[in-house]
Amino acid sequence: MNSFFPPRVIETGEIRLRPFVDADAGSLFYVLLGDPAVTEWLPLRTHRSIDESRAFIRVCELGWTSATRFTWALEDSASGHLLAAVELVPNLPRAELGVIISRRDGHRRRRASLAALLKLIDWLMAQPQMCRLHAYCAPQGRAVSTMTRLGFTLEGQLTNWEPRPNRGLAADDALLFAITRAPGEPLARLVDRLARTRRSATPALRAAPGEQLAHA
């Protein structure tokens, strides 16, 4: 079994990350996986029923049990409204991060959600065995500016990397972003480097409208 196990619950005051439970199926379908505006550029087909989203939650639960895939519901702490889904797939010394954010009114708290993601990312990169955290996003999607704000660096564009079933594409390109840490690199140096990356987003990136984060 994988020895790497992140916190089940992460809180920032305004935002809570916790594992999905069966009772989340309806909101997961309505807010995220059943909304074509959210899933348009994802490599998974838009869900057509709550039962599909319930089956997805069962897969998430198995991931926690086997310690191979960790998926959180990101919710507003006060209202309990679902805002996003966050997934981490570790394969040390690297891990893949994916996030899907709602575009529905009443289910969007961009700044607070970014702060919660920063807390998760900083925890991950502080782990001695973690040397690389990467994420993918569609070039046509809305993720690029968000990736830079989170401290990721664009490494390149991958040709025909993944399907886009909701666009009728068997294969399409993806942008590869990563945060890296050399083995033994002092944590203080990494923190400083991430802070500089997050501050140095270009004006063009900062001006990009409406963001959806990278997906797994």
**pLDDT score recorded for residue 140:** 87
pLDDT at position 146: 86
For residue 110, count other CB atoms closer than 10 A to its CB: 12
**Nearest-angstrom CA–CA distance, 119 and 108:** 18
Number of H helices, E strands in the chain: 7, 8
Which pair of tokens denotes residue 158? 């991958």
Identify the DSSP state of 157. E
Position 28 scores a pLDDT of 98
Helices 110-126 & 187-199 angle (0-180, nearest 10): 150
Report the b/e string of 123-135 with b at 16+ CB within 10 A: ebbeeeebbebbb
pLDDT at residue 2, as a whole number = 59
pLDDT value of position 203: 45
Residue 143 phi/psi, 5-degree rounding, is -95, -20
Q: How far apart are CA 44 and CA 64, in angstroms?
A: 21
Answer for the pair 83, 109: CB distance below 8 angstroms, yes or no.
yes
The residues, any chain, with a CB within 8 Å of residue 214's CB and separated by 6 or more, are 97, 98, 99, 135, 136, 137, 143, 146, 147, 177
Structure confidence at residue 93 (pLDDT): 96
**pLDDT score recorded for residue 215:** 40
Residue-wise pLDDT tens for the chain (216 aa)? 457 999 999 999 899 999 999 999 999 999 999 999 999 999 999 999 999 999 999 999 999 999 999 999 999 999 999 999 999 999 999 999 999 999 887 666 778 898 999 999 999 999 999 999 999 999 987 777 789 889 999 999 999 999 999 999 999 999 999 999 999 999 999 989 888 888 876 443 333 323 333 443
pLDDT of the residue at 174:
97
Set out the domains of the chain in order of their start, with CATH numbers.
Answer: 10-206 (3.40.630.30)
215 alpha carbon, distance to own chain's centre:
6
Question: Is-contact 47 24, C-beta < 8 A?
Answer: no
pLDDT at 201: 63
- Tell me if 22 sits within 8 A of 57, measured CB to CB: yes
Whether this model's pTM surpasses 0.85: yes
